[in-house]
Structure 1
Amino acid sequence: MKKRNIKNLKLTLWSATLAVMLFTACHSPKNAGPDYSWVYDNIEFDMPKVKEPVFPNNSINITDLGAVADGQTLNTEIFAKAIDMMVAKGGGRVIVPAGIWMTGPIVMKSNINIHLEDGAMVRFSDNFDLYPLVESSFEGIMTWRCQSPISGRDLENIAFTGNGVFDGNGQAWRPVKRGKMTANQWRNLVKSGGTLEDNDSYWWPTEQAARGYIISNRNNLPQLETYEEFLEIKDFLRPVMVSLINCQRVLLDGLTFQNSPAWNIHPLMCQDVTIRNLTVRNPWYSQNGDGLDLESCKNVVIYNNNFDVGDDAICFKSGRDKEGRDRAIPTENVIVKNNVVYHGHGGFVVGSEMSGGVRNVHVSDCTFMGTNIGIRFKSTRGRGGIVENIYISNINMIDIPTEPIRFNMFYGGKAPVLDNGESSTSLIESDAPSVPVTEETPLFRNIHVKNIVANGFGNAALFMGLPELKLENVVLENAILQAPKGFSIIDAEGIVLKNVKIIRDSGPALTIFNSNNITIKDFDFNKNVAEPGLAVSGRSSGNIDIQKTDFNNPDKDILLVNGATNETIGW
């Protein structure tokens, strides 16, 4: 009797399980993907769920329209025709099968998903004539640039999905510095054509591109006025590879974006953006070879991506100087989770064009390997704007050439490491006199960083504000930072260090200069170094609260110089 009851119970449970499975299969959304709800866990601010695009069940394969995958034939008109056909049906997928598909610029339209199947590579032509000058944005300024290989403006419901590759053919556009190549690589590059500038140390692909460099006073943004003037240096005006302006419900999922002429992916003034499962690549020596530049965007999630690029990897911006302040559109409500960055000038970066502000940002569970800087905040006088409410946690960093964490309000447009290996930022800049605080003064405040493990080859960390407007209310908690030199805090206020350990080879473990209201609790440092654990400098430094148990030998562990006195320290 008992065996029969057990058998009946098993049959009943199996029937119930089967019924649940059948119900789920019948009532679940078609093609339901992985559950990404974890992305919204443990967010410190009110983060709305990002809306993803939804498409009608229409599709067309570009081969049905005569596309040729020989890597030579231009398929520009085929892509345009396929997009238009899907638009006429109310939207759908443009399918790109395996093969190498050469094309000119692709102009997106609303309700379109370009889907690259396994083995598909879309490579953009290196014929500059296919990329007319258009009004666009670069480095936070509206200007004339060559049309981007992928562009979309004022769209909604767009996507790029699949497992294929978009290749921007960037080597045809980019200049190269001699110091970034081996002798053999440089010799072969020069033999390929182009022209040289700066005492033959800087290669340009065409004479027109080199002339634009000279006319622009060796900057990226030429100070020209008319379309005709820009047209004379067209080759110099490299486009970003993916330019999406004022678009809503945007999805980039699963693809590789590589070899961009300038920045790789640039959403500008977009809302409801999902960027996941991407591989974003550029050669390490690529000038302006950023990975992702998110500018003046709202409600964004960025997760499960790999970056290996020539400039900043994941970078948040909001316009430059007066133009950015007048636009007044911050980058806000953004989640960055579970990303890996290999080479890059910075792993996670804010600035330097942040004049419209950046706020409500969560960054967690990321790994940065060999980025010049790990966590990087940069700005300068003239920018204005407010960066606030940033929450960063669970970041692991290895082999960082400069600082794992850097706040630098004196950013001058240079990479953190110059081609000769020297740092481009000098702490002497902190001695600059104060200037009046105006709308042009940038403000960084209310930034929380915790659970950090890092080693670097420069300083353990650098927190540097402006003399006239301090870096405000930054909390660093649960951090182990190892580097040849220690941690410097300059022109800052309201800094809290809690459970921070500094392992340095020489110099003070922590230097505080012209800073106030600093709280240091459970601070640890290696004692096998002759220099003290804490050095305080500057007459304006004050109200530095420390624990006796952290510095139990004050004569050896604490150094007061340059006007700092015993009254500066509070026990």
Structure 2
Amino acid sequence: MKHTLTILSLTALVFASSASYSQQGAKPWPSKLPVVKAPVFKKDTLSIVSFGAVSDGITLNTKSINDAIETSSKKGGGVVVVPRGLWLTGPIELKSNVNLHLKADAMLSFTKDLSQYKLLSTNWEGLAAIRNQSPISGTNLVNIAITGKGIIDGSGDAWRMVKRGKLTESQWKNLVASGGVLSDDEQIWYPTESSLKGSKVKAAGVIAGGKTADDFAEIKDFLRPNLVVLAKCKNILLEGVTFQNSPAWNIHPLMSENIVIRDIYAKNPWYAQNGDGLDIESCNNVLVENSVFDVGDDGICIKSGRDAEGRKRAMPTQNVVIRNCVVYHAHGGFVVGSEMSGGANNIYVSDCTFIGTDIGLRFKTTRGRGGVVENIFIKNISMKDIAGEALLFDMYYAAVDPIPAAGENRQAPKVQVLPVTEETPSFKNIYINNVVADGAAKAIFIRGLPEMNIHNIFLENMTLQANKGIEVEEARNIHFKNVNVISKDTKPVVNILNSNSIFFDGFRYKEGAALLFNVKGDRSANISVANTNVKGAVNQTEFSQDAKNQSLTIK
């Protein structure tokens, strides 16, 4: 049976009228969203047992599972069943028109024998690279699925390095005693000498200068694969399954379209380096719903290639609906970037909960990326115990953990104005409504570039409890409407540096705040405060670093 898809043209979206938004140039939540339908498969069923698979945790079932998938596809497709039990396997390659279905209590456990994974040309963090073959992969396929109630375990502990600062002293001692090798400073554990050697190679695995897979044999173990990579595929369904313990990223749709991901659980240890949950890269027409993420890096992430390669690919991630998801530990709950050089647009995120993530809503990029991120709609977000910022927009991403380690001293980036080129990224036209955060280090952080301000950001109906309030740098046309910031540090509640057209309407804060607005920089201008009881603060305004008193108006 052929897959059918209905997608409503986004160019024909009808936006409901809203006086409060139209006065500011913002848009309300669209009345119509993309609609993506899951693929449908033939009912013909094959069991991997019929092809010789043995559930004893010892037998390597790679050939049996792949033979079942290949046979099903050649017969026109259907369902390949993994029964209950523990099935040890090497890499699995999906085929068109096949639904790989894991029964309840079925576990696909990928072998820790790294020699079973061949080096091949693929993609890593937005660049063409040599990596080890993914445990599950598919390229140029149509109508594929992984469904059921079982577990897919990538045996990531055999691959990944571990930072000492992320473990207790007892955990660290046990890890070191298990084998492996340490970095020169003894702060990072590597599972093998090959992995340690790869850590010392700049841009390890990146294809350049005519290099082939053979050139990377000595550092093979360092080139960790993503658990599931589906590249250039059409009509994908991931449903019900637990994806856990990945060597690197957990689930990675790449340059694919018409994707439904629902009721899944993506799980990695919190210390898992590059252990993202879901990375949607250069994909079109995606639905993610009713899923849970508890991982070691970003939870749900939007990407579209890196730097010049991403711009040349020119495939934005677009028409994405994310709803009713929960993210526990992660560097970010919902994330865009930092590899967003192909752009991202028409993304809709609603009714999600972030608990214990480093950052809640995280937009990150840096000079050199290029790309435009725009038309992002987010509403109904609940957060609790956020270690860093509840909302973050940062164009100085430095590829470090969002929360500094104990004793780590980070310097603010040097601000300089550079020419605007194709390498200059842009964040604009982002609409976020109805957010509650119970606990964060900082409520809102917005930092653009002096040559390319973050602009046209509309934040409405929020209650954010945090240690620190709002910080805005190098931004333009930022609207805070009915935002309540309850911060412990009230000197100041709002810090503004070299930003223009910043509007506060119905702003609330903790009564008795030491200083409400601190305005800095000679380029700060047109800051407006309306419908706000500024008299609740001990000091209303303070100006420094050549900021002018008339840059802020209280109505």
Shorter-chain TM-score above 0.5: yes
Gapped runs of 5+ residues in structure 1?
1-28, 30-39
> Quick check: 1:557 aligned with 2:543?
no
* Cα distance in 2 between the residues matched to 1:405 and 1:43: 19
RMSD after superposition = 2.0
**Is 2:478 the partner of 1:495?**
yes
The 1:133/1:493 distance shift into structure 2, 3 A limit, reads: same
Given candidates 382, 394, 400, the residue that maps to 1:414 is 400
State how far apart, in whole Å, the 1-side matches of 2:536 and 2:345 are: 42
Q: 1:311 aligns with which of 297, 307, 332?
A: 297
Shift, 1:467, TM fit: 0.8
- In 2, distance between residues paired with 1:176 and 1:169? 14
Q: CA deviation at 1:504?
A: 1.1
Does the aligned pair in 1 maintain the 2:198–2:219 contact within 8 Å?
Answer: yes
How do residues 16-35 of structure 1 correspond to structure 2 at under 5 angstroms?
Answer: none
1:216 and 1:222 in contact (8 A); partners too: no
Deviation at 1:226, TM superposition (A): 3.5
Following superposition, the deviation at residue 455 of structure 1 comes to 3.1
* 1:383 match: secondary structure: coil
Provide the aligned length of Structure 1 versus Structure 2.
Answer: 529
Confirm or deny: 8 A CA contact 2:34 2:320 kept in the other structure: no
In structure 2, do the counterparts of structure 1 residues 559 and 67 end up closer, same or farther at CA, with 3 Å as the change threshold? same
**2:302 corresponds to which letter in structure 1?**
F
Partner residue of 1:242 out of 202, 212, 228 = 228
Matched, 1:384 2:370: yes
Correspondence list, 1:267-282, <5 A: 267-282=253-268
* Distance apart, 1:44 and its partner CA: 1.8
| Aligned partners of 2:226 and 2:248 also within 8 Å | yes
Distance change in 2, residues 1:453/1:421 (3 Å): farther
Partners of 1:548 and 1:190 lie apart in 2 by 59
Give the alignment of 1:423-434 within 5 angstroms.
428-429=412-413, 432-434=415-417
**Given the two structures, how large is their TM-score scaled by the length of structure 2?**
0.92
Alignment correspondent of 1:512: 496
Q: Which has more helix, going by share of residues?
A: 1
Aligned mates of 1:229, 1:85 — CA distance in 2: 35
TM-score of the superposition, structure 1-length normalised? 0.90
Going from structure 1 to structure 2, the CA distance change for 1:434 and 1:45 (only over 3 Å counts) comes to farther
Which of these residues, 505, 522, 536, is aligned with residue 539 of structure 1? 522
C-alpha contact 2:96 2:143 (8 A) present in aligned 1? yes
Conserved? CA contact 2:120–2:213, under 8 Å? no
What are the equivalent positions in structure 2 for 1:144-223 lying under 5 Å apart? 144-216=130-202
Partner deviation per Cα, 1:502-531 (whole Å, 9 max, x = no partner): 11112211111100011110001112332x
Say if 1:365 and 1:395, in contact at 8 Å, map to a contact too: yes
Which range moved further: 208-217 or 301-310?
208-217
- 1:402/1:456 contact within 8 Å kept: no
Deviations 1:415-439 (A, max 9, x none): 1013327585x5x32x511111100
Q: Percent identity?
A: 49
Match of 1:446 among 429, 450, 474: 429
Q: Aligned partners of 2:537, 2:67: CA distance in 1, in Å?
A: 76
Q: 1:484 to 1:223 in 2, by over 3 A?
A: farther
Give the Cα–Cα distance (whole angstroms) in 1 for the partners of residues 265 and 528 of structure 2.
Answer: 45
How many Å separate the matches in 2 of 1:238 and 1:505?
A: 42
User: What CA distance in whole angstroms lies between the structure 1 residues aligned with 2:50 and 2:207?
Assistant: 44
For 2:359, the equivalent position in structure 1 comes to 373
Q: Equivalent residues in 2 for 1:32-47 (5 A)?
A: 44=30, 47=33
- List per-residue Cα deviations over 1:129-152 (Å, max 9, x = no partner): 110011111100011000000000
Q: Which residue of 2 aligns with 1:36?
A: none
Question: What is the distance in 2 between the residues matched to 1:276 and 1:432?
Answer: 43
Residue of 113, 121, 127 corresponding to 2:113: 127
Distance verdict in 2 for CA 1:45–1:138, change over 3 Å: farther
Question: Could you tell me which residue of structure 2 aligns to residue 15 of structure 1?
Answer: none
Deviation at 1:164, TM superposition (A): 0.2
Give the alignment partner of residue 356 of structure 1, picking from 342, 360, 365: 342
Q: Distance in 1 between matches of 2:206 and 2:469?
A: 37
